[in-house]
Structure 1
Amino acid sequence: MPAHAENVRLESIYGDAIHYHHIDIVSSKNVTVDGYWASRGGEGDSDAPLQIDAQQSDISSNGIWNGTDTALAMDDGTPTRRCRLTNFEINPENGPQHGVQLHRGRHESITISDGQISGCRYTAIRSDPDELVTDLTIDGVSCIGNARGITLGHVEDGRRGLTITEVTIRTDDSDVAQGSGLYAAGFDESRISNVVVSGEFTNSIIFDNMTDLMLSNITATGAADQAFRFRENAEATLTTARAADCGGTGIYVGPGSSVAYGGVTFEDVGSEIVVDGEIREWTSSTSS
């Protein structure tokens, strides 16, 4: 548990049975985890194999046992900054809630890259609701066989700088898939590209309270309801995308949302577009 640490590198970590987390990065700066394999999550009530945390005031967790009592990390609210997880595989046999959790906050310049996460009962990658994140990058990650893929929990504003690229979210078992494959809220300046979301999630992709959101080369297939759901107060541009095999709508634009789209292919969708906000098509799209 690096806590209030700086310039730390962890390599070739193997995690098996544990009560909470194999790795918990707390209020630290410049921590890199390069090479991490997890075969189990925690057995306690907080069970993500890897957690990124910030020691907010009055937090009674994140301590070191010294033989007689627990010395807690300083609870001064120091953000976790410039940390990276890369070259990893999280495939826990005991089904934890999350694979990687951004817990509490604030977090700044966090990168999760080149890995795979499977077998999570709630979501593969989670950021807690109402917590702030700046410059979050998820690159080259596969989320396979989880209830959800990426869940960046609800907040109305205050987040900035989201990049998701070269990501696959797929859950083939309809009894496992729940909620949304990809959910994000509260970000300004987001770039999402080369992403595939496949499986019988309720909705493939949902956004709330997003400004300057740009999506390109996105495939959303198999949702029980909607492929692209710009639910509330989302300002977005969607290009070169595919919505397919969803029981409801290809693109839904909700109240307060504004979407410009083009180059979108619709295949076997209940209805192509439903609008309760504003939408503008600026190049032709196709249906089949």
Structure 2
Amino acid sequence: MGHVKRIIDANFWAYLIGYALALIMVAPLLWMIIAAFKQPGSTVTVLGELFTTKFSLDSFIQVLKPDGTAMMWRWTLNSVIVGIVQTGVTVLFSSWAAFAVSRIDFKGKTFVFALILAGMMVPVESIVVPLFDMIKGLGWTNSYNALIWPGMMLPLAFLILKQFIDQLPNELLEAAKIDGANMFTIWWRMIWPLSTSSMAAVSIFIFIQSWNNLLWPLLVAQKTSMMTLPVGIPTFQSIFATDLAVPMASNVLASIPAILVFLLFQRHIIKGISMTGIK
């Protein structure tokens, strides 16, 4: 009984510490949500007044009205377009590259694999200057081309998909070759359907990374109409330096799409990563 009691006590303290840490991590999110439902101009930095003042949707109305200072609808549209296009093209190209490096023998394959992995070691900040000069030379500043194309390649997506394709039995692909299937048919008929879970996990990572990207859109989108949410919201918040309720409402609205994507597809993240062998 004493041994069982010690185990129960250990589990109790482990759960207690876990819940306490979770509460600490969730507390800023809860504060943001509560502050967003306060009237514009309300005090949201004092805990006592945070729960006693009147709740209202006026902050959301002010953020979403078409003639308001914030262009939330336009910024959200820009973020959605950039996120969807970058996710779709990156997953497609990464799948092709992973299939080629994993299953096709060609000269220099090891060098190509090492070159792609080397991209994971290069900080984004180290290439923004030459990349910006290239975009400026092409005349793409303040356009969707500048926002989308430079962020399409992700070495991590290639690595995850390659590790999954490496685990597929060779007999399966050899049988397809005997039946007369070419490489594109094998990818389309076999690799694509079998790697759906891994692609879904990769897609979520890419979309959330694109949704939260601040540095690159800040450099190439100077026009207010071409800003994405991570760039537009700080610009909007600077106008309400003393009124935190309205900026919190804009933050809540900007967080909803990414949270929904994660909640709807979180099982694909677990399944996709577990199938690749990455822990």
Q: Shorter-chain TM-score category?
A: under 0.3
TM-score (norm 2): 0.21
Higher helix share: 2
Higher strand share: 1
> Rg bigger for which structure?
2
Query: Using CA pairs below 8 Å that are at least 6 residues apart, which structure has the higher relative contact order?
Result: 2
